[in-house]
Copies of this chain bind each other. A is one copy, B any other.
Amino acid sequence: MKIAVDVMSGESPPKTLIQGALKAVEESDVEVVLVGDETTIYKELEQHSQSYKQISVVHASEIIAMDESPAKACRKKKDASVMVAGALVAKKKTDGFFSPGNTGATLASSLFSIKRIEGVKRPALASILPTVKGYAILLDAGANVDSDPEHLAQFAIMGEIFVKKILEIPEPRVGLLNIGEEDIKGNELSQKAFEIIKTIDFNFIGNIEGHDIFEGDVDVIVCDGFTGNIVLKLSEGLGSVVMRLIKNEMIKNYKYRLGAYMAKSALRSVKERFNPATYGGAPLLGINGCALVGHGNTGELATKNAILTTAKMARAKLDKLIKKSIHLHTLSTG
């Protein structure tokens, strides 16, 4: 199992990503290909006395920055680390890749070189969210801006397979994010998507609403990429806002130092649960290979977990499973 890691595109320095990769190879038999400026990479590797048989390096001379326009940058910078990492998967040199940088560029690189699975209309970005009871995935979290009902049905199929194989939930409950629980609720898109999704052979629990997302009673949350991206960013933002408000309340009362200390530890553990590092990033589903999109400030732990998650996706042959299910669904709906 070989995973390419773009060590240049994140907000964290290459050093952090390389150290995360070294942790991953220490803890598993996964081989890692570090992609980026080779001088920088070798300089970092020299800091480590141990030799790493599972590590190799592929040079890439350019970097796509966080704020560059993805489509334009990918066309112009063919030798950008994220493009080179994607190409390694396309050429079957690695089984998957991880990039911690510009989400749009990782998507563009994947679509450009790895390409969509035949029959998949739109690949989707799946975001792994913490719930009161465990984890759920939400997709599309922003790979597509406009979607049609059949796209949403495909998101449901791809998400269900991911949750079953990677989060290891045997019978995932699939829900459609909507503005009411009744079947007929919602906008045109969600009403039509409901009609298609209910014919698919999995555990569809129907419409769910905004307040159901974090309760842990649904494992796969399906929505269009516009709604999904707003939900994702809102969740990240609101968690931090609630915590800031609580902190503000706590420090109002100087008498209770112990209470403040205690609350601080509790806040820290909760923040940890909202930390995207557990799985290391958001999988891109629907391409001929495995790709994981990291958060900008991916640290060592997140990098290690991202590599292991990508390897797990590759080991499960997630892309082949998705291809098969999408094909079956297309056959049954014509």
Indicate if A236 sits at the interface (CB-CB under 8 A). yes
Nearest B residue to A225, CB-CB: B179
A-B contact sample (16 more), CB < 8 A, given A234-B234, A246-B266:
A142-B179, A145-B187, A209-B229, A210-B232, A211-B237, A214-B238, A215-B241, A234-B235, A234-B238, A249-B269, A250-B262, A250-B263, A259-B263, A260-B262, A263-B263, A263-B266
A211:B233 contact, CB within 8 angstroms: yes
A145:B186 contact, CB within 8 angstroms: yes
Inter-chain CA distance A243–B246, complex, in Å, is: 10
4 shortest interchain CB distances as A-B pairs: A259-B262, A210-B233, A211-B237, A210-B234
A270:B245 contact, CB within 8 angstroms: yes
Number of interface residues of A (CB under 8 A): 56
Indicate if A213 sits at the interface (CB-CB under 8 A). yes
A230:B270 contact, CB within 8 angstroms: no
Inter-chain CA distance A269–B247, complex, in Å, is: 11
A207 to chain B, nearest CB (A): 11
Indicate if A212 sits at the interface (CB-CB under 8 A). yes
Set of chain B residues within 8 Å of A273, measured between Cβ atoms = 245
Most buried by B among A146, A225, A259: A259
Which among B131, B177, B258 is the interface contact of A258 at CB below 8 angstroms? B258
B259:A246 contact, CB within 8 angstroms: no
Cβ contacts A203-229/B at 8 Å (1 or 0 each): 000000111111100000001111101
